[in-house]
């Protein structure tokens, strides 16, 4: 389960264990500032008994976990904020844990339709959030600055430049 926004538009969800190989519990967090009270469970069939929501600011801390998924979040932020977020993950992740980052990865060649999508997103992130899309080297540098190393990366997911970057504690 990725970070997600609830139907009420207030929850920031953080998965504590995904997928659940041994444990079967996930937890979510929501920043307290400016938010209404978060829902107490993620709801949905099969989720309510193994998913909880915790208030929090991911720049400060995230719940402990052995697998963490950050989807569509890093491109919202500049390098300094991304490093703070990833350091929160590093402090809370198990020694043999894995951090999964799902983001577009800027290709080295920009001459394809898929690359055009990433370029448009890069501009949108710059304009709307002050963030950016990043290439592989930039992701490696971010991970390194936060105490992770890139362990694996998937091919682009169906017709996009989105990939899953798998990082482990360095």
**Rule CB under 6 A: which residues touch ligand SAM?**
2-5, 12, 31, 57-59, 71-73, 76
Nearer to ligand SAM, 149 or 164 (CB): 164
Nearer to ligand SAM, 111 or 158 (CB): 158
Nearer to ligand SAM, 25 or 81 (CB): 81
Measured CA to CA in angstroms, residue 72 lies from 61, 111, 136, 139, 159 at distances of 18, 23, 16, 14, 17
Least distance CB 122 / ligand SAM (angstroms) = 14
Nearer to ligand SAM, 72 or 107 (CB): 72
Q: Determine whether 64 is an active site residue.
A: no
CA-nearest of 71, 69, 65 to 95 is: 65
**Of 12, 16, 75, 132, catalytic:** 75
Least distance CB 145 / ligand SAM (angstroms) = 19
Separation between Cα atoms, residue 128 and residue 58, nearest integer Å: 20
Least distance CB 69 / ligand SAM (angstroms) = 8
Least distance CB 81 / ligand SAM (angstroms) = 9
Q: Which residue has the tokens 């929850």?
A: 11
Joined tokens for residue 54: 């915790």
> CB-based contacts of 54: which residues, under 8 Å, 6+ apart?
14, 27, 28, 29, 30, 63
Compute CA 126 distance to the chain's CA centroid, rounded to the nearest angstrom. 18
Please report which residue ranges of the chain form alpha helices under DSSP H.
Answer: 79-92, 113-128, 136-145
Separation between Cα atoms, residue 164 and residue 99, nearest integer Å: 10
For the annotated catalytic residues, the residue numbers are: 75
């Amino acid at each position: 389960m990725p970070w997600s926004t609830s139907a009420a538009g207030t929850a920031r969800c953080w998965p504590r264990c995904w997928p659940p190989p041994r444990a079967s519990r996930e937890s979510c967090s929501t920043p307290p500032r400016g938010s209404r009270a978060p829902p107490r469970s993620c709801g949905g069939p099969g989720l309510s008994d193994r998913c909880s929501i915790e208030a929090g600011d991911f720049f400060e801390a995230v719940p402990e976990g052995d697998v963490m998924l950050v989807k569509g979040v890093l491109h919202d932020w500049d390098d300094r904020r991304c490093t703070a977020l990833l350091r929160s993950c590093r402090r809370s992740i198990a020694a043999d844990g894995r951090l999964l980052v799902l983001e577009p990865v800027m290709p080295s060649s920009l001459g394809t339709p898929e690359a055009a999508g990433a370029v448009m997103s890069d501009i949108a992130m710059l304009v709307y959030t002050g963030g950016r899309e990043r290439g592989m080297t930039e992701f490696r540098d971010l991970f390194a600055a936060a105490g992770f190393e890139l362990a694996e990366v998937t091919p682009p997911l169906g017709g996009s430049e989105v990939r899953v970057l798998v990082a482990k504690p360095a």
